[in-house]
Amino acid sequence: MSVLETHPEDHEHVHHDESWLRKYVFSQDHKVIGIQYGFTALCFLLFGFLLMLMMRWQLAYPGQPIPIVGGILGADNAPGGIMLPEFYNQLGAMHGTIMVFLAIVPLAVGAFGNYVVPLQIGAPDMAFPKLNMMSYWVYATGGVVMFASFFVPGGAANSGWTSYPPLSVTATAGQSWWLLGMVLLITSSLLGSVNFIVTIFQLRVEGLTWMRLPFFVWAQLVTAFLLLLAFPPLEAAGFFQLMDRVLDTSFFMPSGLVVSGEVVRGAGGGSPLLWQHLFWFLAHPEVYVLILPAMGIVAEVIANNTRKPLWGYKSMVYASIFLGFMSFIVWAHHMFLTGMGTTISTFFQTTTMIISIPSVIILSALLLSLWGGSIRFNTPMLFALAFLPMFGIGGLTGLPLGFSATDIHLHDTYYVIGHFHYVVAPGTIFAMFAGVYYWFPKVTGRRMSDFLGKLHFWPSFVLMNCIFMPMFIQGLAGVSRRLYDGGMQYAHAQPVLHWNQFMSIAAFCLFFAQIPFVVNLFLSIKRGKECGDNPWQATTLEWAAAPSPPVAHGNFPQTPVVHRGPYEYSPPEHPKGFMPQHATVPASEEG
């Protein structure tokens, strides 16, 4: 282990010594790992999206052969290209699993967190680089296991992404693969979250006090705590379910259960509700794992492009901590219709109403930050701005679901699907896009095309609403969420059935609306306009790690010292309009 001072020339030296494999595959550099996470997660995002497109075809045109891919799905899944109900169930379960655990969380935490957090706190790397590498490879293995499960007999998991027993215990072999994959993914995020918390606690540079941290770092810190403490119960539940399936135990299997006229083997005496408790103990905090990093990215982009400090930075920080804390005691609002007692329902209904307060504080603070700003409408800013109303719709439509009385009507309908997709799809995913456009110059030293970016943004924005808004209409009419024909056989669904085609066509168009993004991403790596070290004239530390991309292992040519808060835009004494956190004199040479 060398104890050399961090001179740039030493880095160059080390740099050349590393083998290709160490540098790009089994790298311990947080920037490379961040890119690995990002690339893998984007691939899974596309894959999950394709699964959804097949489902949308089936919902809009039930019984008609799927175009293009129909022929290659195999006779077990889609004979003659016509989707079987069993295959539809696989797609539903795996779309949810892949989007949540393999696409969005790895993108938000693994990619952006890994790349940006050490840079924003002025650290040379994460606290445990080897653990970081392991975390990625365990995640990748989990992804492979999940993907491979499509090819085992009976296909992938088909009991919904929530995997409720007893259905999941009696399901085909794919469910065991799902559980194995989940154990790997849980292990990966456990390693990651320990690493993030230690990094943020221990590796902040001199002067970077807690209240000088960029909001993105705060969001990542709270997220890491959620992952650390909420995931283990699901790991335990996963072991239980695996034992129920493999060793015929009865943790989740009640006595005398009869399936298809046959008494299910095993001793019985178990509780199906136990799984739901343990699952939602994770899965509700998981919602905030999906949303907090997104809020962090949006906060960075908005502060940067309004050219003024965030409004109510401290309230936002406290709100996010409170949000994280409360997210552990709301889980049973997913279980109002399980026959749980009314007293306990009232308790969880109350905590659910309380948790909406910090979300509203953060959203309001972001909204008020726009007031009086001289806003730059570049691509990242457009996505960040769109996040606000989209997340607002997603959040507000959640309230009727949080009340135990109104939930009776809405539970398990398309209304729920519309609600959480508004939070996650035009909400979180838009924030992820904002992050990609915003930090691309940091990663490559080049800008993505603003024209292609806008060509990506506007159609996506319109189409997202075309897909998810009608779901509220269908849900209020009472259309159940897991029907493989979209509700054709139900009389009460008939008046709203025509929306299915509308939504599906919008979804297909959304696919084409992503082409400018993919083209932009790959073209800009080599052909994008070179943009210097600080193209957005930002104040936070990641832009001090010049050049872009920062040097491997070490990041900063000189360890910076922080003198002020994260968003010192438009300080009156400074004509250039911004003061980086590390700048000692008002005049900045960068940008």
- What is the contact surface with another protein in residues (CB under 8 A)? 1-3, 6, 11, 14, 123-125, 127-129, 190, 193-195, 197-198, 201-203, 225, 228-233, 235-237, 239-240, 243, 247-251, 255, 266-267, 269-271, 273-274, 277-278, 281, 325, 328-329, 331-332, 335, 339-344, 553-554
What sign does the dihedral 523-525-530-532 (CA atoms) show?
positive
Six-digit token pair at 284? 């509700």
In whole angstroms, how far apart are CA 342 and each of 42, 524, 580? 42, 56, 54
What minimum distance in Å lies between the beta carbon of 228 and another protein?
A: 5
For residue 403, give the amino acid letter.
F
What minimum distance in Å lies between the beta carbon of 17 and another protein?
A: 10
Tokens 């943790």 correspond to what residue? 251
What minimum distance in Å lies between the beta carbon of 591 and another protein?
A: 27
Six-digit token pair at 344? 């306990």
Q: Which of 439, 304, 427, 431 is nearest to 34 (CA)?
A: 439
* CB closer to another protein, 503 vs 552: 552
What minimum distance in Å lies between the beta carbon of 145 and another protein?
A: 20
What minimum distance in Å lies between the beta carbon of 355 and another protein?
A: 14
Dist CA 383 CA 389 (whole Å)? 11
What minimum distance in Å lies between the beta carbon of 105 and another protein?
A: 16
For residue 394, give the amino acid letter.
G
* CB closer to another protein, 37 vs 331: 331
Dist CA 463 CA 299 (whole Å)? 24
* CB closer to another protein, 89 vs 195: 195
* CB closer to another protein, 67 vs 268: 268
What minimum distance in Å lies between the beta carbon of 378 and another protein?
A: 34
What minimum distance in Å lies between the beta carbon of 443 and another protein?
A: 20
* CB closer to another protein, 225 vs 517: 225
What minimum distance in Å lies between the beta carbon of 476 and another protein?
A: 26
What minimum distance in Å lies between the beta carbon of 391 and another protein?
A: 26
What minimum distance in Å lies between the beta carbon of 178 and another protein?
A: 19
* CB closer to another protein, 1 vs 585: 1
Phi and psi at residue 354, to the nearest 5°: -65, -40
**Residues 159, 168 contacting (CB under 8 angstroms):** yes
Beta bridge partners of 425: none
Q: Which of 395, 399, 409 is nearest to 475 (CA)?
A: 409
What minimum distance in Å lies between the beta carbon of 7 and another protein?
A: 11
Six-digit token pair at 2? 């060398």
**Residues 50, 62 contacting (CB under 8 angstroms):** no
What minimum distance in Å lies between the beta carbon of 280 and another protein?
A: 10
Six-digit token pair at 408? 């009776």
Per DSSP, the three-state class of 587 is coil
Secondary element (H or E) of residue 523 = helix 515-527
**Residues 48, 95 contacting (CB under 8 angstroms):** yes
* CB closer to another protein, 227 vs 579: 227
Q: What angle do CA 407, 408, 409 make, to 5 degrees?
A: 90
* CB closer to another protein, 239 vs 377: 239
* CB closer to another protein, 72 vs 344: 344
Dist CA 14 CA 552 (whole Å)? 9
Tokens 């136990």 correspond to what residue? 274
Six-digit token pair at 162? 């929530």
* CB closer to another protein, 152 vs 190: 190
What minimum distance in Å lies between the beta carbon of 551 and another protein?
A: 10
Dist CA 543 CA 498 (whole Å)? 50
In whole angstroms, how far apart are CA 229 and each of 191, 233, 285, 327? 12, 8, 9, 11
Instruction: Give the burial class of 418: count Cβ atoms within 10 A of its Cβ; 0-12 exposed, 13-18 middle, 19 or more buried.
Output: buried
Dist CA 203 CA 104 (whole Å)? 26
Phi and psi at residue 569, to the nearest 5°: -95, 150
Residue 501: other Cβ atoms inside 10 A: 14
Helices 272-306, 414-423: axis angle to 10 degrees equals 40
For residue 183, give the amino acid letter.
V
